Chains A and B, each alone.
Chain A
Amino acid sequence: MRSVAVHFLLAICAAVALLPLLWLVSAAFKTTADLTAYIFFPWDDLRRLTTDNFSRLFSQQPFATWVINSLFLSSIHTILVVTLSSLGGFALAKYRFAGKRPLMLVMLGTMMLPGQVLLPSSYELMETLGWIDSFFAIIVPGAVSVFGMFLFMQAMQTVPDELVQAARVDGCSELRIWWEVALPIVRPMVGAYTLMAFLGSWNSFLWPQIVLQDERKYTLPIGLANMVASPEYQSDYGVLMAGTLLAVSPVVLLFFVMQRDFISGLASGAVKG
């Protein structure tokens, strides 16, 4: 009996989490008239569902361009930040070198800092470099992550020194040791951090909103935030929801495929920390 009650309670909570997403899917496929007539799907006649919202989305807005921009920026960001953080984290964990302690102290000092304090001066720097309205403004500063460095430093400490030494004796270059010895050992962390970096970049809003100005350079969050602000889509929101659905689904799918890696990585960091 008790376990039935517990499952019932959990089912209600799951419904609270999933109903808005179900509604999102339904709204994306409904006609404008059906948006107000039905809260969810028009169950009595499902043939009324339409893909019209999607075709209007792609014809009224440069939505395809936003998708490509988002995919491009998030992929580049992920590749760069995972590579640089794992390489740097490996050096911090496995080598002694001059300037290591001061470097780590400065990094620690910036770790807790709310990043928004850097917005005005970074904007000024982008103006000086001529990177306003350029993807460089997003790609280049985004490639460093103090958090990522520390995450990989912690993970790389589990790589046995004997293994590194053995590879060295066998004539492995240091770069190959990183690539062929260390990275495979911290694979779960690479998976988790890849997903985290992609997710963060895919959803990022404030900095791109500041530096990107041309509509054709927008990413999905900026494009959709601008659409929601225009009165046109407030009543005819099927188009807006079609866009939101397309923006959200890749991330949910990616997570679904990589879920085990991600949750274990997320949790191991917290429990140890």
Chain B
Amino acid sequence: MAITESSRPRQRLWATQARFSPYLFVAPFVLLFACFMVYPLLRSLFLSVHKSAGPDELEYIGAGNFAFLIRDRMFWWAVLNTLTFAFLFLAIQIPCSLLLAVILNNPRVRFKNAFRFAFFSTHLVGSVFVAVMFNILLGGRTGVVNQALARIRGWVVGTPLEFLAPGAEPIGFLTDPNWTMPAILVAALYLSVGYGMVYFLAALQAVDRELYEAADVDGASRIQKFWHVTIPGIKPVLVFLTLIGMIGSLQLFELPYVLFGGSGPNSRALTIVMYLFGNGFEQGNLGYASAVGWALVVLVAALSIIQLRLRRVTAG
């Protein structure tokens, strides 16, 4: 008797913990998510229709920020820079990563893990540290790349290979506006080619061997096999890398910001996020910065949708 008496409330307690635990498990997440994502998201919509100078001075201006944005040449300049970067970055990164992965996937290649680690290690360095490094490698008169180019020139001049010699003048990688985009691209590719390769390599290893054997039976050439077996086999990863590469490129900030210490010569390194940062946190107009942020949201959404549509078209 005594046992059932004491076990009944305990049973009830047990049933209660079973019933409420899923709520308790998601509660911390939901609480923080509501406070630090959902609320700021709604608040940024509110801010984007206000003009602000300092924390407590908000003035409702309706669509004023967006009307100004449409005519803001500096904003469109940032958009142009960012889109140019995104396009060039993807056009180089995807083929390079894929090529490296295909080479590394060859069964006769030895030291596979060592090579994979070498290629991937650049991704671990992190964009700020890569930017700090490339700032010194590319920068100034004493820049290491210019130093190396001068040395190569020293070796080559006076030999039949002289036509390969780099110019005598040091290149202003960080001061010449024409070199701004190449400098950012080199640093960005240094960070991400190996990273893309790891994904492609995993995808290549998952392609069904039997498909290649069937293609061999049909007498397919190496290139035919690549287009008709490999590419369809790794398509999900290809789409994934293009999509996250594009979204990441549109959010480009710290790499050029640290590399050039700001927006670079003639603002050639000005990106959308850098423009948001400058307006919001250097000039203190959180309203306009929010409007720039929503323009970025629209751009990312539009390009993602276009890309997914294209994929459906090519798949069909």
Contacts and interface: CB of A to CB of B under 8 A. Distances in A.
Given A146-B33, A228-B261, A267-B199, A259 B247 contact: no
Contacts of A206: 253-254, 273, 277
Interface stretch (A49-57, A61-69, A116-124, A183-191): A116-124
Contacts of A39: 144, 147-148, 151
A84 B132 contact: no
Nearest to B122: A17
A178 B25 contact: yes
Nearest to A107: B33
Query: Mostly helix, strand, loop or mixed at chain B's interface?
Result: helix
B300 A112 contact: yes
Nearest to A98: B23
A117 B126 contact: no
B142 A36 contact: yes
A107 B115 CA distance: 38
B37 interface: yes
Contact of B26 (A20, A35, A92, A247): A92
Contacts of A158: none
B304 A120 contact: no
B111 to A, nearest CB: 8
A36 B102 CA distance: 39
Interface string B261-272: 100000000000
Given A14-B119, A20-B190, A21-B121, A87 B25 contact: yes
Interface of B: 17-18, 21-23, 25-26, 28-30, 32-33, 36-41, 43-44, 46-47, 55, 100, 103-104, 106, 108-110, 115-122, 124-129, 131-137, 139-140, 142, 144, 147-148, 151, 190, 194, 198-199, 201-203, 206, 236-237, 240, 247, 250-251, 253-254, 257-258, 261, 273, 276-277, 280-281, 286-287, 289-290, 293-294, 296-297, 300-301, 304
9 contacts: A87-B29, A97-B26, A120-B289, A121-B47, A175-B21, A205-B127, A205-B253, A228-B258, A271-B206
